[in-house]
A and B are shown apart, each in its own frame.
Chain A
């Protein structure tokens, strides 16, 4: 019996060591790839930097600085749609990431000016309603954490109030409970709203250099309207290599799926 226990313990220890060192080795190689990307960027080898960063993405690494660096590298090689797409990804993970916001604004302004020189009106700033504007300020994780914290505090205060007999403390606790209730409801609404948006609303960015001609239907030759590189659109359906989407001004149409990059 003792021998069995000893063998089991040893196997567990070996397994644990393998997992730990394996994880350490893996995380070290992720850093190496990231550093290689950065070094390539600093040496002006932007395409090489993109290759290294995309290697990390293919390993399912999701990180704000990674998406941001990919966006900046794409911007340096003139692929502005791809740049905006990666900045949007960074903002999706961290709505308060100021560098991404700054660079997106710079690129959108550049595209708008380029479009106006080419005789097109382009306002790439996505038109969003007030509810979406509120949702965009919070990350999904942040809203969920805020809701849980308010929720726990609310019920904690309710339980405490149950056992307090004096009038003034009960009144004060009542006020606190009232405020916490409102905050909890708001946090819940935002958390659920974010979750729903992230799960069901698929958004993409136009990758086509210049302007994308949006068609009447899949493989149609008839152009409905054009949409600028870097514009954010909402995907409605996909069919045989074509995607129907809705632009921020409400117009919808079809374009080859390759011309859009999902956020």
Chain B
């Protein structure tokens, strides 16, 4: 018996333990690897963080990649399932959630970089991996095969991303800031947006770089700008290509490490003088709230101000265009200087440098005697630099000589405000000698040509500056052509509502009428019955005894009253009956008559010496008259009396 009990207890214990352990999930597997060793300064490598969770949807906190340039990043979440059989718990399905994060990184400085451990919250328990140390050797050190492919295509197209390597030195630690140090932002311990301008005072046309940063201390999706910063009064050029990966830095604020993501970088060229307020951008991110569920969170920066001074009046050239501001050069060239009559020459006027290239106004060319000059074609090329835009703007004028000779394209003057020296510069293109050979062309008779409207480039540029910019987000849907007013449900609701009201009115009215009719009908029937009863009594007036006759008479009246009042009144005393009649709408006089008639009938039943026929006839007539009077009274309904 003891052995058996012991075996039973052991088996039970093993069973419970199996079930218990089967319930406890194993900790997540965390691995961090690089695709090459050793790592060398300036050479890209791939860092892979692989997390395998065994229960539910894990929360993963990745380390910040401080000191590394993130060239590319990707993540994938494959799900795999397996089955296992445990004693006692039967078959169990295990769902493994893998998360693979791959980063293509580049260290611009040599040194040792310690990555914080990856943290995983699984099934309510926090698990920490091991910290990872990355050693980056100085450039020129042998080792690792250079990876193929290089930087991403977007970065290759955009010269701004191919910035020169920073100076050698120790990798910089994250900046430590207080919330008060962060201008242009509303600090939040989870995420907030900051607007930064490179200068708060500028002159018209002077570039001001505006950057919008998104700070986050938690894992979020990619931040997206929902509302662009308000840049009225500025001409805007984008410095951050939409295809470019957002640069990420890290800062410590109030002891919490934040990732600082650059989401917008533009250069603003002020158009008009005055105090300009840049309305804040609104940034939206997706935050995970549970398995397959996320919510959108929006944050706005604070507005920032830029004081724009007008260009100086002193030494301003006549007819100066305030769009011509920058660090610029100007010249004129022709594609050939020796031509024959009828052969085209292209005169190119070109302004190049740094500034608001798109809005520069080049001088026109009036033409040259002996040449047919066509309207110029404008060409603009702008390239983005980290802090400004550079490029050129040129006009190409086609000229066709009509007669031979030596010609000179005179120097063409142009003025601009030089931001370097902060003064106006008047420059001229070189004079160009042209030699035209051959015989003069015969002038053809003039052909009437339709004149197009005057299209002024300066006017178009002024217009462009005043226009508000595009909407960055839209809720796109295919519009259903039927207007609301024509939709069936709308018409149904609109028509049904008054019909419902009319229906209600009709119903209430009908109910009242039916109530009234039924009381009328009842009164009629009661009177008819009473009259018939009186006729019967009259028939057998002589045959019945006084007791029978007057009892019958009394019964006729009480039955009539019972029918009218819809309650039996035979058991009422005289005073009760009187009260009841008055309460139901009979006058006091009528009620008194009824009571007196009943009392008379009672008296006559037992009185001796009553003349038979005469008294009985009188009684019948009185009763008929009383019934007629009672029939004419409108009896109140029982419910109304109760109220």
Contact = CB atoms under 8 A, between A and B. Distances in A.
Given A66-B476, A110-B459, A210-B452, A155 B468 contact: no
A110 B486 CA distance: 40
Given A72-B468, A75-B464, A148 B490 contact: yes
Contacts of B454: 114, 117-118
B477 interface: yes
A207 B203 CA distance: 38
Contacts of A110: 459, 462-463
A195 B483 contact: yes
Interface stretch (B107-115, B319-327, B500-508): B500-508
B383 to A, nearest CB: 11
Contact of B460 (A44, A78, A102, A199): A78
A162 B358 CA distance: 71
A160 to B, nearest CB: 11
Interface string B467-502: 111111111111100011110001001100110110
Interface residues of B, number: 44
Contacts of B87: none
Contacts of B485: 140, 144, 191-192, 195
Interface in B416-461: 452-456, 459-460
Given A43-B238, A145-B484, A210-B453, A38 B470 contact: yes
Chain A contact patch, size range: 35 or more
Contact of A155 (B471, B479, B498): B498
Contacts of B498: 155
Contacts of A151: 494, 497
B483 A141 contact: yes
Interface string B253-268: 0000000000000000
A159 B501 contact: yes
A140 B485 CA distance: 8
A62 B497 CA distance: 32
B525 interface: no
Interface in A33-66: 34-35, 38-39, 41-44, 56, 59-66
**Interface SS majority for chain A:** helix
A42 B494 contact: no
A30 to B, nearest CB: 4
B466 interface: yes
Contact of B467 (A31, A65, A106): A106
Contacts of B483: 140-141, 144, 195, 198-199
Given A63-B474, A140-B484, A155 B500 contact: yes
Interface of A: 27, 30-31, 34-35, 38-39, 41-44, 56, 59-66, 68-69, 72-73, 75-76, 78, 99, 102-103, 106-107, 110, 114, 117-118, 140-141, 144-145, 147-148, 151-152, 155, 158-159, 162, 191-192, 195, 198-199, 209-211, 229
Given A155-B498, A159-B501, 12 more contacts: A38-B472, A39-B242, A44-B358, A61-B478, A63-B476, A66-B474, A69-B471, A103-B467, A114-B453, A145-B484, A148-B494, A195-B486
A-B pairs, top 6 by smallest CB distance, nearest first, are A210-B453, A62-B479, A65-B474, A65-B471, A144-B484, A69-B470
10 contacts: A39-B243, A59-B478, A62-B477, A65-B471, A68-B471, A103-B467, A107-B467, A114-B459, A140-B484, A144-B485
